Amino acid sequence: MITAMKSEFEKVSRSVRGVLWGRKAQKTKMLVLGRSLSDGLLAKLIIYLLLSIVAYLYLQPILYMVSTMFKNMSDLLDPTVKWIPREITWENVTKALKGLQYPEALRNTALISVTCSLVQVIICAMTGYALARLELPFKGLFTALIILTFLIPPQVIIIPLYVIFSKLGLLNSIFVFLIPAIFGQGLKGALFILIFRQFFKAQPPSLEEAAKLDGASTARLFFGIMLPLARSACLVVFLFSFIWYWNMYYEPSMFLTKGFTPLSIRLDMLEDVLNPSLLGNTRTIVNPITESTKMAAAFLIILPPIIVFMFLQRWFVSGIERTGIVE
């Protein structure tokens, strides 16, 4: 009888252990795989791994730039020094500041970027509103022509523009960018017009109808009601425009060759500014330009847009979502 009881007890124990093991296995499965495809531990690990790889691909050039700008000549020539220099030197940053003539070039670049971006926001918003909400003759034709200007590469029209600006005496001044922006044809102006057009088309007509019943004119309706509603679109357009004006190289290299030059052009002049004797007959190199000096200069050029984006990234991302650029 005792043997039978032991056998029965072992059967019950095995059954209990089986149930407990099954529950543990089920919990482990739920933890690893999750209820759906995206909430399990395995799926999260794969997502974080992919995001880390993408982040590294984007950040690697900047990390290399920052690492190299603090290397001296011996660290540059030593293949064992990859990321962290054995001795941090600020000499390259000092030479880059001097070679870029940083305060003057920064002022020129900021003047072009801020002024033209603000003008683009106002002009493109007005054009986008007119195409979206006003009854205009040939509105479809105008929209098609605006899209066409976006598709034409700038290299095709650069010579006619150069001749026009040269005859008007506007070369080497901010007006070569400001005047096209005033007429809605600034850098990527067609794209910004389409962004505003899409935003204003998505607004309910009842807003305008109520204002029109109160006797509001078109100008008051735009500046008093619609433009304040488009704050998110204005911020997105301003930031895109600011970054593109800041980083442009081709147009300034054609229109701004001396005097009023932005930072992107000053990078090409680094050698001539630091070693002016190379332009004469003596050809004595006083300040040798190394890869570290070029990396320091490049980092100084991109530093202001990075700071601007760090302060405005929250509004920038929410603005992109509201304008319908991404779904």
| CB proximity list for 315: less than 8 A, separation 6 or greater | 232, 235
More confidently predicted of 92 and 211: 92
- Measured between alpha carbons, how far apart are the two ends of the chain, in Å? 74
Please count the other Cβ atoms lying within 10 Å of the Cβ belonging to residue 98: 13
Residue located via tokens 């098609």: 144
In the prediction, which pLDDT does 326 show? Answer: 52
What sign has the CA pseudo-torsion 196, 198, 203, 204? positive
Mean pLDDT computed over 21-42 = 72
Q: What is the pLDDT of residue 264?
A: 86
- The share of the chain scoring above pLDDT 90, in percent, equals 24
**Residue 76's pLDDT band (cuts 50, 70, 90):** confident
User: Are the beta carbons of 165 and 104 closer than 8 angstroms?
Assistant: no
The secondary structure of 188-225 as a DSSP string is THHHHHHHHHHHHHTS-THHHHHHHHTT--HHHHIIII
| Greatest extent of the chain over all pairs of C-alpha atoms, in Å | 117
Distances (CA, A) of 55 to 69, 85, 219: 21, 23, 45
pLDDT tens sequence across 248-279: 988 888 898 888 888 888 888 887 887 776 66
User: What confidence score (pLDDT) does residue 246 get?
Assistant: 92
Q: Of 114 and 87, which is predicted with more confidence?
A: 114
pLDDT of 325 over the 60 cut: no
* Model pLDDT, residue 285: 67
Per-residue model confidence as pLDDT tens digits over 272-310: 887 776 666 666 666 778 888 889 999 999 999 989 888
- Please tell me the predicted confidence (pLDDT) of residue 284: 67
